[in-house]
Amino acid sequence: MTRIAVDAMGGDHAPHEIVAGAVWAARDYGVAIELVGKQDRIEQELDKITHEGFMTDKGKGGPKKYRIKIDTSKLDIKITHASEVIEMGEAPGQAIRKKKKSSIVLAVDAVAQGSSDAVVAAGSTGAAMASSLFGLGRLQGIDRPAIAVTLPTIKKPIVVIDGGANSNCTPEMLFQFAVMGATFSKNVLGIEHPRVGVLNIGEEAGKGNELAQATYKLLEEHQEKINFVGNIEGKEIFLSVCDVVVCDGFVGNVALKVTEGTSSMLFRMLKQEFKADIAGKIIGLLAKPFMKRIYTKINYEEFGGALLLGVKGITVISHGRSHAYAIKNAIRVAKYAVESGVNEKIAKFHEEE
Tell me which residues touch its own copies (CB under 8 A).
Answer: 153-154, 164, 167-168, 199, 201, 207-210, 212, 233-239, 247-251, 253-266, 268-270, 273-274, 280, 283-284, 286-287, 290-291, 293-294, 297-298
Nearest to 148 by CA among 191, 187, 108, 180: 180
* Minimum gap (Å) between residue 263 Cβ and its own copies: 6
Compare residues 70 and 165 and give the one whose CB is closer to its own copies.
165
Beta bridge mates, 201: none
Identity of the residue, 230 or 341, whose beta carbon is nearer to its own copies in the bound complex:
230
Distance in Å, CB of 269 to its own copies, minimum: 5
Quote the least distance from Cβ 209 to its own copies, whole Å. 4
For its own copies, the closer of residues 154 and 278 by Cβ is 154
Cα 279 to chain centroid, rounded: 41
DSSP 167: S
For the chain, strand residue ranges (E) read 3-7, 32-37, 54-56, 66-68, 77-81, 118-121, 146-151, 158-161, 196-200, 228-233, 244-246, 306-309, 314-317
Please state the closest distance from residue 292 (CB atom) to its own copies, in A.
10
Q: What is the distance of C-alpha 314 from the center of its chain?
A: 11
- Minimal distance in Å, beta carbon 72 to its own copies? 36
Sequence-distant (6+) residues with CB within 8 A of 74 are: none
* CA 323 – CA 69 distance, rounded (Å): 16
Taking the least distance from each CB to its own copies, the nearer of 98 and 297 is 297
Least separation in angstroms between residue 62's CB and its own copies is: 15
What is the distance between the alpha carbons of residues 208 and 200, in angstroms, rounded to a whole number?
A: 6
Distance in Å, CB of 248 to its own copies, minimum:
8
- Of 76 and 239, which CB lies nearer to its own copies in the complex structure? 239
> Among residues 193 and 293, whose Cβ is nearest to its own copies?
293
The answer to whether 2 and 339 have CB atoms below 8 angstroms apart is yes
Q: Which is nearer to its own copies, 52 or 286 (CB)?
A: 286
Query: Considering beta carbons, is residue 244 or 255 the nearer one to its own copies?
Result: 255
Side by side, the strands of the sheet bearing 146-151 are: 77-81, 32-37, 3-7, 118-121, 314-317, 306-309, 146-151, 158-161, 244-246, 196-200, 228-233
Give the other-Cβ count within 10 Å of 24's Cβ.
21
Q: How far apart are CA 215 and CA 192, in angstroms?
A: 23
Q: What count of Cα atoms within 13 Å lies in the side-chain half-sphere of residue 108?
A: 24
> How far apart are CB 182 and its own copies at their closest, in Å?
21
